Structure 1
């Protein structure tokens, strides 16, 4: 059975979708849920996750692993989250590099992806009415509030790190809500998605080389402990929010979509390519640096582009590329949804 087999091809595509979700989740302002939505597997993801509950636990204890695995749509979840994990140690590292050296262009691509997603989300709605406009406005206001919020300072407290995991996973379950951006607002983006992920990566590399010296490294072990707590919070949040969302989508599908459109629109400025960073300063007016030596951002100044500049047209090209990418994803999603 070669790669041309429909079954193997579907599995590979699902893993690739997971990789795309993982990469998107790591970019502040971009939601992995958007990838799920336009990729045509958002509702399957939510409904699969919400099956991880007391009933599934009872099935596991009474009937065994196979019925439990079947009940929660385990094959789908395993392949998808395998892609997410692969992404965190491969594509995400490349993305980190691109953001570090070509941030504006990366933002332009994601800006195009998000506005394209809003367009397709819009067409999910049927017959706008007062109630939908109300929910749209609510989402818009929440998005604007979050976009204009100022970040907190880094916090290594166990309870707070668990909370970070709990809320950051929203980006995977709710299109438009960026988990990475929430971590930025909470002040723990670098700690949990850069330092801790790198600690896991280097620890795995050390174990492969049969080098266990990292166990005696207090900084590394602290990061690994924080990563474990963050992961536990993420799993808890994933199950919790998926249960809420599955109920909301089932009962109030159109109003939920209207809220998501408003929220995405309100928070779109987070990835506006034409923005200027304003760095934090200490009492002496010196720039404050984080734990890995990068200057900490206080907030962004959003500016209008100069349409006469070469930069404007170049960034516009990257925005168009983002639009095309999501359009192709949506086209595939339509075919997949039948």
Structure 2
């Protein structure tokens, strides 16, 4: 890539990935596959190691600049920077919008998420084989982990910095895996609504700071945002590599676990809506039509996406 048009195209691909990453049930990795950049992304991410990072940072000294440029090219640094800029732009924009919807239309928003998750699970289960005891056990384990975590996280898991760190590690690493939604795992961990609100307030704080105020908002939101990003960096270099290793050694069982994780996570949006209804005094009977209609819209979005990605080898 050398032309401005190529870089703009890559940035827009990052925007598409980020938009998917910010919505539970849709995988940014799947979007990367559709857009033809998944293999390059994985190659670039796994090429990053402490030695190359040290060489890049050493470029601050003019004498080390040639070697720093070589290391930067070895990790496809320009590609990663432009792509991450697009992803970051979309994540901030989408999460800010979702935060507004969760405040004003929580039942419909979580209904939409439920449809996304259900349709994603249905589509992905077509590629899962449960013909051995090992694969069945992996599927059962995935379902139970997500199902139990969904109910527990919604009521008992506080948004402390250690929890936010773990959520960042799990969610960001999942974002680069096809078929696994990082935002969905945030819902399972009970951190999606908290982080969407935190990111929205952080952006407002930045805007206010640029205008001479907003210091309080930045002071409140910077620690969780920085902790989440730090967790994400750790996750990319640990969890993502571990899953890649598992896929290489036991692909079918690992896929069964991952997809069953999605099925178990269907409890998460229902649990969140139940909490909202309990707070507002509204009944499920009254909220069910809104929830169901939004779920159908979410499912339809996934099915349309699947139609365009049906020929992709996962």
TM-score where L is the length of structure 1? 0.70
The number of residues matched between the two structures is 293
2:49 is the counterpart of 1:53: yes
| 3-state SS of paired residue (1:320) | helix
1:294-309 aligned within 5 A: none
Q: 1:145, CA displacement in angstroms?
A: 1.5
| 3-state SS of paired residue (2:156) | coil
Task: Give the direction of change, closer, same or farther, for the CA distance of 1:8–1:223 in structure 2 (3 Å limit).
Answer: closer
Task: Give the direction of change, closer, same or farther, for the CA distance of 1:179–1:222 in structure 2 (3 Å limit).
Answer: same
How many angstroms apart in 1 are the aligned matches of 2:149 and 2:204?
34
1:181-220 aligned within 5 A: 181=187, 184=190, 190=194, 192-195=195-198, 197-209=199-211, 211=212, 213-215=213-215, 217=216, 220=218
**Match for residue 245 of structure 1?**
243
**Match for residue 37 of structure 1?**
30
How many angstroms apart in 1 are the aligned matches of 2:235 and 2:251?
21
Task: Give the direction of change, closer, same or farther, for the CA distance of 1:250–1:105 in structure 2 (3 Å limit).
Answer: same
Higher helix proportion (structure 1 or 2): 2
How many angstroms apart in 1 are the aligned matches of 2:292 and 2:29?
25
Equivalent of 1:230 in 225, 228, 231 = 228
How many angstroms apart in 1 are the aligned matches of 2:127 and 2:70?
34
TM-score where L is the length of structure 2? 0.74
**Match for residue 270 of structure 1?**
268
**Match for residue 291 of structure 1?**
none
Equivalent of 2:132 in 126, 129, 132 = 129
CA RMSD of aligned residues (A): 3.8
| 3-state SS of paired residue (2:160) | coil
**Match for residue 16 of structure 1?**
15
How many angstroms apart in 1 are the aligned matches of 2:21 and 2:28?
10
- Native 8 Å contact 1:122 1:261 kept in 2: yes
How many angstroms apart in 2 are the aligned matches of 1:228 and 1:120?
35
How many angstroms apart in 1 are the aligned matches of 2:67 and 2:209?
32
How many angstroms apart in 2 are the aligned matches of 1:128 and 1:57?
44
- Native 8 Å contact 1:107 1:273 kept in 2: no
- Deviations along 1:100-125, one digit per CA (max 9) or x if unpaired, are 22222222222222222112212323
**Match for residue 333 of structure 1?**
309
| 3-state SS of paired residue (1:153) | coil
How many angstroms apart in 1 are the aligned matches of 2:7 and 2:209?
31
Structure 2 residue runs of 5 or longer lacking an equivalent are: 59-63
Task: Give the direction of change, closer, same or farther, for the CA distance of 1:317–1:88 in structure 2 (3 Å limit).
Answer: same
